């Protein structure tokens, strides 16, 4: 149990703990990023699935820091203990009491939330000056998520705190504690009382321009009752998102960039060896053939998508519906420029153009290039959509 408690005394602004092998919110290791680029370049989407899984797996071991903050006496330390599933009599518990017991930030861990640091912060200052100081310190801290504890009343201090956190671009929950006490002293029905508390908090925040946060009404004496189970669930989701959003964003950017480079290089090749007969002979079949070639080249052909779906545990139709480039008809339907380039009037025009000496073949060739480049662009767009889904699917397995 001793190990459960990791109590470090550290100033607010230095609370973020370093030394993890994988930093949440950051990018992906260079070698992984190279593997990803290679896989995307070669159209190996199955490999992208494996890399995304590896990255998510690595990211899920990154440390996350949660700050438990509020007014002194609101029940912050008791909440920390309740979340850790221990009572205040436990030797490893955060000190609680009616007098000010938490004077400096203290760090705790819990086996139910691996690699998560729960920071029990001292209460906000009693005077305006110390409140300013508290908020300034908070702005320089590197907590990932804030649990704003309140009870008895949702004060101006809470609103200031909420505004500061929102200004930092961080997420926070409002956690109203001691709901057991509220319920035992009210003449109102349980439902009405809880609704009143929720509405009062929300109204106060919205009036001050703070966006609606998740609000939980709990009692630290009964960590299995009221909103406590929902709070744990939401917390797990948010912790996961905090860990994975940075790496996934970085992977998504890397994928898009690689696709753009690939399109640029393929377009150059199209310019050099454009198969002009695909238009000259007006062969929709030929264009269909090239569309299949391009899809294969980006790894979004039917077989590859089937394998990807099998690997991510999804049904293949979830991927197919994202494709506009399943066949030429679909692509023409989705894109008016391609529709125009392949309409019968245009085909007729091109047939006639072929007979015009010198200029004719050149015009036909230019037209073929434009059409192929457009097809490439549309297939690349589809590939980006598929890659986005692959990355999303790797974070929430079916
Ligand atoms: N009835 C009840 N009392 C609570 C609850 N949470 C905290 N307390 C009591 O409120 C007092 C202050 O709690 P503490 O956690 O030390 O507050 P802090 O100053 O915000 O850390 C203590 O006497 C706690 O026992 C709760 O959910 N229900
Ligand atoms: Mg305390």
pLDDT per residue as tens digits for the range 46-65: 999 999 999 998 888 899 99
pLDDT above 50 (res 14): no
For ligand 1, what atom is nearest to the CA of residue 71? 20
Q: What is residue 38's predicted lDDT score, i.e. its pLDDT? A: 96
Rounded to whole angstroms, the Cα distance separating 290 from 286 reads 6
Residue 67 — pLDDT band, cuts 50, 70, 90? very high
Residue ranges of the chain assigned to CATH 3.40.50.300 = 62-225
Around ion ligand 2, which residues have CB less than 5 A away? Answer: 76-77, 102
Least confident of 76-80, 250-254, 279-283, 310-314: 279-283
- Which residue would you say has higher pLDDT here, 108 or 138? 108
Quickly count helices (H) and strands (E) in the chain: 16, 6
pLDDT at residue 325 is higher than 70: yes
CA distance 80 to 76: 6
Pocket of ligand 1 (CB under 6 A): 72-78, 96-98, 101-102, 123, 177-178, 180-181, 219-221
Distance in angstroms (rounded) separating the CA atoms of residues 236 and 83: 12
What is the structure's pLDDT at 138? Answer: 85
Give distance in angstroms: CA of 80 to centre of ligand 1: 10
CATH architecture of the region 62-225: 3-Layer(aba) Sandwich (3.40)
Cα distances (angstroms) measured from residue 283 to each of 18, 100, 259, 267, 271: 62, 82, 28, 21, 19
> Which band of pLDDT confidence, cut at 50, 70 and 90, is reported for residue 305?
very high
Mean pLDDT of the chain: 85
Q: Give the ligand 1 atom nearest the CA of 149.
A: 20
Range with the lowest mean pLDDT among 27-41, 107-121, 264-278, 288-302? 264-278
Q: Is 92's pLDDT higher than 90?
A: no
Tell which one of 70, 72, 74, 78 to mutate to probe ligand 1, the residue whose CB is within 8 A of the most ligand atoms.
78
CA distance 84 to 12: 21
Atom in ligand 1 nearest the alpha carbon of residue 220: 27
What does the alpha-carbon distance between residue 332 and residue 374 come to, in Å, rounded to a whole number?
Answer: 11
């Amino acid at each position: 149990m001793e190990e459960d408690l990791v109590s470090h005394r550290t100033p607010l602004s230095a609370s973020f703990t370093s030394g993890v092998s994988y930093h949440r919110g950051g990018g992906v290791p260079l070698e992984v990023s190279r593997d990803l680029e290679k896989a995307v370049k070669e159209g190996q989407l199955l490999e992208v699935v494996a890399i995304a899984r590896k990255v998510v797996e690595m990211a899920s071991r990154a440390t996350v820091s949660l700050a438990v903050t509020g007014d002194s006496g609101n029940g912050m330390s008791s909440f920390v203990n309740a979340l850790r599933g221990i009572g205040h009599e436990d030797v490893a518990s955060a000190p609680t009491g009616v007098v000010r017991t938490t004077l400096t930030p203290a760090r705790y861990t819990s086996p139910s939330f691996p690699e998560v640091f729960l920071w029990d912060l001292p209460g906000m200052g009693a005077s305006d000056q110390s409140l300013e100081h508290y908020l300034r310190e908070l702005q320089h801290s590197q907590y990932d998520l804030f649990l704003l504890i309140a009870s008895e009343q949702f004060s101006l201090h809470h609103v200031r705190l909420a505004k500061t956190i929102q200004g930092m671009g961080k997420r926070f929950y409002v956690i109203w504690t001691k709901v057991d006490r509220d319920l035992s002293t009210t003449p109102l029905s349980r439902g009405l009382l809880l609704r009143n508390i929720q509405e009062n908090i929300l109204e106060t925040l919205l009036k001050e321009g703070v966006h609606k946060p998740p609000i939980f009404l709990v009692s630290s004496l009964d960590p299995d009752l009221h909103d406590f189970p929902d709070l744990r669930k939401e917390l797990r989701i948010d912790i996961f998102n905090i860990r994975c959003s940075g790496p996934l964003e970085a992977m998504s950017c890397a994928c898009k960039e690689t696709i753009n480079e690939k399109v640029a290089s393929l377009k150059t090749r199209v310019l050099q060896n454009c198969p002009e007969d695909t238009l000259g002979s007006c062969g929709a079949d030929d264009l269909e053939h090239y569309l299949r070639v391009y899809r294969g080249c980006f790894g979004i052909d039917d077989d590859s998508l089937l394998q990807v779906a099998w690997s991510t545990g999804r049904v293949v139709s979830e991927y197919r519906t994202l494709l506009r480039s399943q066949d030429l008809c679909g692509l023409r339907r989705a894109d008016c420029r391609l529709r125009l380039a392949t309409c019968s009037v245009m085909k007729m025009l091109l047939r006639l153009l072929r007979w015009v000496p010198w200029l004719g073949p050149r015009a036909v060739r230019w037209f073929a290039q434009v059409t192929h480049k457009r097809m490439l662009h549309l297939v690349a767009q589809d590939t980006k959509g598929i890659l986005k889904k692959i990355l999303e699917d790797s974070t929430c397995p079916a």
